[in-house]
Amino acid sequence: MTDRLRFKGGVAVITGAASGIGTGLAHKALSLGMRVVLADIQEKALKDFAATLKGEVVTVATDVSDAASVEALAEKAYAAFGEVDLLFNNAGVMATGFSWEIEPARWDRSIGVNFYGVLHGIRSFVPRFLKAGRPAHIVNTSSVGGFLASPMMAPYSVTKYAVVALTESLRGELEMLKAPVGISLLAPGPVDSGIFNDPFGSNVRPEVQQFVDYLRKLLTEHGLSPDEFAELVFAGIKDGAFWIIPQPHAFDDGFRKRVDDILARRNPTTHQY
Ligand SMILES: NC(=O)c1ccc[n+]([C@@H]2O[C@H](COP(=O)([O-])OP(=O)(O)OC[C@H]3O[C@@H](n4cnc5c(N)ncnc54)[C@H](O)[C@@H]3O)[C@@H](O)[C@H]2O)c1
C-alpha cells in the first residue's frame, strides 16, 4: 500500500511544525516535491519558519489538544489543497518532576497535547482518508520513552505509552477494513530540538534539575539534527514500516532488558542520573 503513496505532488500535514523534528519533516517533504500544511500553537514561530521555506506552504495556527482546532486544521488543509496524503501527529510537550508534585495543569497539558493531540488528528483525518479511498499514511509520534518509562517524567511516559497502544489498535482496525491507509509508530531517540525548553513547573528540585541537565546534554551532544532524523523517518515510511525506531542504540538494549525482566518476573532497575 505504501508503494503507491504519493510523495511528489502529494500533501503532508505536520503538527508541531514550528520547531525541532517538525521542521525537519517539513524540509524533507518539500524536498520531495510535496505541498505542506504546517500546524503549531506558536503562531509567530510557525510563520517565521514558513517564511524560510521554498514551495507550496500553508500555515494553520492549531492547538492539537482542542478537537475543534484540529478539525479546523483538516478543513483548512483540504480547502487549500483538496487532498492529504501524509499526516504527521508530531506535536508534543515535556513535563518533568516527581509524579506527585507535578501540578494537575501540567498533567492535563501533557495528556492534552501528547495523547489527545494524536487522537484528535486521527478523528479528523481518518474519516477523510477513508472517504477519499486512496493511499494515505499516518505517522504517530511516540518516543523511546513510550516503551521505557522513566522516573521524573511520568506525564511524558504515560502519554507516549498511550500513543503506542492507540497506534497499534488503529493499525489493526485499518487492516480489518482493508483500508488503503498505512500507519507508523515513530519512536525517536535523542534529537536536538526545543523539547526541553520548558519542562518545569513551579517547583524545581535539584534532582529534577540534574535529570533535565542530563537529558539536555544528551540531546545537544548526541542527538541527531531534525533534518538527519527526518531522512530516517521518510525512509521508514517508504519501506512501509509500522515500527519506525530509527536510533536502535537508544532503544534495543533497554527494550530487550525490559522484556526479559518482565518475562523472568525480575524487578526493574532504575538508571542513575
Ligand atoms: N527531541 C527528542 O529527542 C524527542 C525524543 C522522543 C520523542 N520526541 C517527540 O517528537 C515530537 C516533536 O518534538 P521535538 O523534539 O521536535 O520538540 P519541540 O519542542 O522542538 O517541537 C514541538 C512543537 O510542538 C508544538 N506544540 C506544543 N504544544 C502544541 C499544541 N497544543 N498544539 C500544537 N502544537 C504544539 C510546539 O510549539 C513545538 O513547536 C514530540 O512528540 C516529542 O515528544 C522528541
Residue at grid coordinates 530509527:
246
pTM of the predicted structure, to 2 decimals: 0.97
Write down the catalytic residue from 156, 161, 214, 273: 156
2, 238 in Cβ contact below 8 A?
yes
Can you give the C-alpha Rg of the chain in angstroms?
A: 18
> Whole-angstrom Cα distance, residue 44 to residue 89?
20
Q: Is 92 in the pocket of ligand 1 (CB under 6 A)?
A: yes
Domain 2-263, what fold? Answer: Rossmann fold (3.40.50)
Round the average pLDDT of the chain to a whole number and report it.
96
Active site residue 156: yes
Nearest 5°: the CA angle 150, 92, 69 is 145
The ranges of the chain with pLDDT < 70 are 1-3, 203, 272-273
> Whole-angstrom Cα distance, residue 241 to residue 219?
25
Smallest CA separation from ligand 1 atom 44, residue = 188
Q: Copy the grid coordinates of residue 198.
A: 520548558
Ligand 1: which atom is nearest the Cα of residue 114? 41
Q: Which of the listed residues 191, 217, 249, 251 should we mutate to test ligand 1's pocket, taking the one with most ligand atoms within 8 A of CB?
A: 191
Residue at grid coordinates 492547538:
63
pLDDT at 203: 66
Domain ranges of the chain: 2-263
Q: Is 26 in the pocket of ligand 1 (CB under 6 A)?
A: no
What distance in angstroms lies between residue 265's CA and the mean position of ligand 1's atoms? 35
